[in-house]
Structure 1
Amino acid sequence: MIAPGFADVEAQIWMWMMAMIRPGAAMVVTPVFGAANVPVQIRIILAFMIGMVATNSASFDLPADTAISLGNFIFVLGEVLVGVAIGFSLQLGYSSVVIAGETISNAMGLGFASMSDPQTGQSTPVIGQFLTILATLLLLAIDGHLMLLAVIVESYSALPPGYAFLGAELAWGIVKFGGTLFSMGLLIALPVGGALILIQLIMGFLARTAPALNLFAVGIPVTISAGLVMLAITAPIMADTIILSLGMGLDQAALISGGK
Structure 2
Amino acid sequence: MSPLGFGLSIEPQLWALIFVMVRVGAAFVAAPVFSAVGIPLVVRVTLSGAIGVLVLTAHPITPPEHVFALATILAVAAEALVGLALGFVLQIAFAAPMIASELIGTSMGIGFASAIDPQNGKSTPALGQFFSMMLTLLFLSVNGHLILVEMIVKSYVALPPGGAWLKPQQLENIAFFGGYTFLAGLLLALPVGFLLLCLNLIVGMISRSAPSLNLFAVGLPASLAVGVVALALGFPAMGDYLLVIIDEGLAATQSLVLG
Q: TM-score, normalised by structure 2?
A: 0.96
Q: Which residue of 2 aligns with 1:29?
A: 30
Q: Which residues in structure 2 correspond to 1:56-95 (within 5 Å)?
A: 56-65=57-66, 67-95=67-95
2:95 paired with 1:110: no
Tell me if the contact between 1:102 and 1:128 (Cα under 8 Å) persists in the aligned partners. Answer: yes
SS state at 1:119 partner: coil
Q: Which residue of 2 aligns with 1:11?
A: 12
Tell me if the contact between 1:59 and 1:160 (Cα under 8 Å) persists in the aligned partners. Answer: no
SS state at 1:20 partner: helix
TM-superposition CA deviations, 1:186-218 (whole Å, max 9, x none): 011101111110111111111112222111011
- Deviation (angstroms), 1:10: 2.3
- Deviation (angstroms), 1:5: 4.3
Q: Which residue of 2 aligns with 1:255?
A: 255
Aligned residue pairs, count: 258
Q: Distance in 2 between matches of 1:68 and 1:227?
A: 59
SS state at 2:3 partner: coil
Q: Which residue of 1 aligns with 2:46?
A: 45
One-letter amino acid of the structure 1 residue matched with residue 33 of structure 2? V
Q: Distance in 2 between matches of 1:165 and 1:50?
A: 21
One-letter amino acid of the structure 2 residue matched with residue 145 of structure 1? H
**Uncovered stretches (5+) of structure 1, i.e. residues with no partner:** none
Identity %: 41
- Deviation (angstroms), 1:243: 1.1
TM-superposition CA deviations, 1:217-236 (whole Å, max 9, x none): 11101101110111111111
Q: TM-score, normalised by structure 1?
A: 0.96
One-letter amino acid of the structure 2 residue matched with residue 156 of structure 1? Y
Q: Distance in 1 between matches of 2:95 and 2:130?
A: 13
Q: Which residue of 1 aligns with 2:182?
A: 182
One-letter amino acid of the structure 2 residue matched with residue 256 of structure 1? L
Q: Which residue of 2 aligns with 1:172?
A: 172
Query: Could you list the runs of 4 or more consecutive aligned residues of structure 1 that deviate by over 2 angstroms after TM superposition?
Result: 1-10
- Deviation (angstroms), 1:6: 4.0
One-letter amino acid of the structure 2 residue matched with residue 73 of structure 1? I
